[in-house]
A = this chain, B = another copy of it.
Amino acid sequence: MKKTCAHHHHEKKQELASLTGRLRRESRKITGPRAAILEILRHHPHPLTNKEIFAELPKGECDLVTIYRAMQMLEKLGMVKRFDFGDGTARFELVGEGDDGHHHHLICTRCTGVVEIDECFPEEIERRIARANRFTGVTHRLEFFGVCPDCQK
């Protein structure tokens, strides 16, 4: 139940080899599409939609459906984390080994720019909420919204 909200994005970019290693270990094949997808995720510090990944891919490299399937698989293996900015489109971000990827974002409602956030919902308060309602395994989903400096004027 680790949830350290701690500077995930300061982690150095993961080696592609380390990523494919994780796949191999789970007896998943390293295919062209997958390598390409991981390569794109590796170079993006913010969550990407499947369509955005698709757009970055050299045209014809792979089908959109393949990306959907890859993200599902990577999520199940804990290699990417799914985020929901409330616009009905899933976004994915690469997660470091041993990290659960829990963190939050500040999103500009004008330009949809994204800032990675280090702060997390205070643990004591969350514990209090859990205890008060006798819930176990409590976690949270949290995103911030506002207007970024560029969009303010």
Interface size class of A (residues with CB under 8 A): 20 to 34
Quick one: copies of this chain in the complex? 2
Contacts of A139 in B (CB 8 A): 144-146
Q: Are B136's CB and A141's CB within 8 A?
A: no
The complex places the Cα of A70 from the Cα of B136 at a distance, in Å, of 37
Q: Is A55 an interface residue (CB 8 A)?
A: no
Residue ranges of A at the interface with B (Cβ–Cβ < 8 Å)? 84, 86, 88, 106, 108, 115, 117, 119, 121-122, 125-126, 128-130, 133-149, 152
Give 8 CB contacts A-B under 8 Å. Answer: A119-B129, A121-B142, A126-B144, A130-B144, A135-B144, A135-B146, A135-B149, A136-B152
